Amino acid sequence: MLDPHDIELPRRILVGRGVAEKVGDIAKSLGLSGKAYVLLGKMGRKLAGEIALNSLSSCGFDVFDRDVEGDAEEHSNIIEHAKGVRPSFIVSIGGGTTIDLGKYAAFKLGIPFISVPTAASHDGIASPMVSLKGLRSPYSIKAKPPLAIIADVNIIMSAPHRLLASGCGDIIAKLTAVKDWKLAHRIKSEYYGEYAASLAVLSAKLVMRHAKLIGAHKEEGVRIVIEALVSCGVAMCIAGSSRPCSGAEHQFSHVLDMIAPKPALHGEQCGVGTIMMAYLHGMKWRKIKKALKTIGAPTTAKELGIDDEYIIRALVEAHKIRPRYTILGDSGLTWEAAEKLARTTGVIK
């Protein structure tokens, strides 16, 4: 008999041009009132800050805004400051760290959270998961999904293409994440949810199918990435964990974050990890590599800006990062096997 788990999903998802000015209307339509605590990343302040703050004020909310410096360890100060304000809900306008800081603070305070991303760089914009260095966890932990997601295509299109390509790496990573989940189900009798898995895989396949459109930074391609990231977040909500979206390729990325002098973006590292884990799974890894190249995402250590040594070390240590069964097994790869894997797939020369 399967253990029950709650499926908590976002209630409103708005994607389109100029929708940042709808933040107040959306909050009001969800029955929210009182004080709004708004976290603004640097680009969030520049691209959407005034629009969103005015939208909230004009809808009758008392607005308290705070700039986020991009330091993941800010969460304690933000929570303490928010406690003093006593907001009814939190809004984050910015990139991944800003979104996760707001999501985590709202979770800890037991209040709703609204996500307003300024870039489509990873699936945290819609997921119940939080990844912050200050939490002393090398991997994502579960919080709650946003009550609403407001993705303004104008703003996200104006972000550097590198951020969009990073989001694609995170989406394509679902192909190997789901393979790992199936493997854990078969070998360790772990719960496996076919619907959540199918949703994650569908998102990855759609991004690969439209790689040229996305690589050209066309509006239709940007919308596909945004919707795919939202779908991946929903897949995690349905699964009750990050399993459909995070496998050995993510563990590889988490280790790189810990050991590389200058890590690349999360999705970039996951994309490169996916190439190698796809090889281990016997998948069409060259097709994955080609799609990432077409999109404009890194496919080698050199393109990540990370020395070969750290790539190999991350492969060797990835299986230790969390108690989650993947293609790396219980004992992981030897240094020799890891080096051979990275060379065979062209990740290192």
| Contact yes or no for 228/160 (Cβ under 8 A) | no
- Cβ-Cβ contacts under 8 Å for 136 (sequence gap 6 or more): none
C-alpha pair distances (Å), 278 with each of 74, 165, 275, 294: 36, 19, 5, 18
Position of tokens 């065979």?
344
Q: Could you tell me which residues come within 8 angstroms of residue 323 by beta carbon, excluding any fewer than 6 positions away? A: none
Spell out the long-range contacts of 197-200 with Cβ–Cβ below 8 A and sequence spacing 24 or more: 197/235, 197/239, 197/244, 199/231, 199/232, 199/234, 199/235, 199/238, 199/244, 200/174, 200/231, 200/232, 200/235, 200/244, 200/245
DSSP label at 139? Answer: S
Supply the pLDDT for residue 71.
66
Q: Which residues are CB-contacts of 318 (< 8 A; sequence separation ≥ 6)? A: 248, 251, 252, 254, 255, 326, 328, 332
262 Ramachandran zone, left/alpha/beta (phi>0; psi -120 to 50):
beta
What is the pLDDT tens value at each position of the chain, 349 positions in all?
A: 456 777 889 999 999 999 999 999 999 999 999 999 999 998 889 989 899 999 999 999 999 999 998 666 688 889 999 999 999 999 999 998 899 999 999 999 999 999 999 999 989 899 999 988 767 677 788 899 999 999 999 999 999 999 999 999 999 999 999 999 999 999 999 999 999 999 999 999 999 999 999 999 999 999 999 999 999 999 999 999 999 999 999 999 999 999 999 999 999 999 999 999 999 999 999 999 999 999 999 999 999 999 999 999 999 999 999 899 999 999 999 999 999 999 999 999 9
Whole-prediction pTM value?
Answer: 0.94
Look at residue 122 in the predicted model and tell me its pLDDT. 87
End-to-end CA separation in angstroms for the chain: 49
The residues, any chain, with a CB within 8 Å of residue 349's CB and separated by 6 or more, are 302, 308, 343
Let me know: does 306 contact 260? Beta carbons within 8 Å.
yes
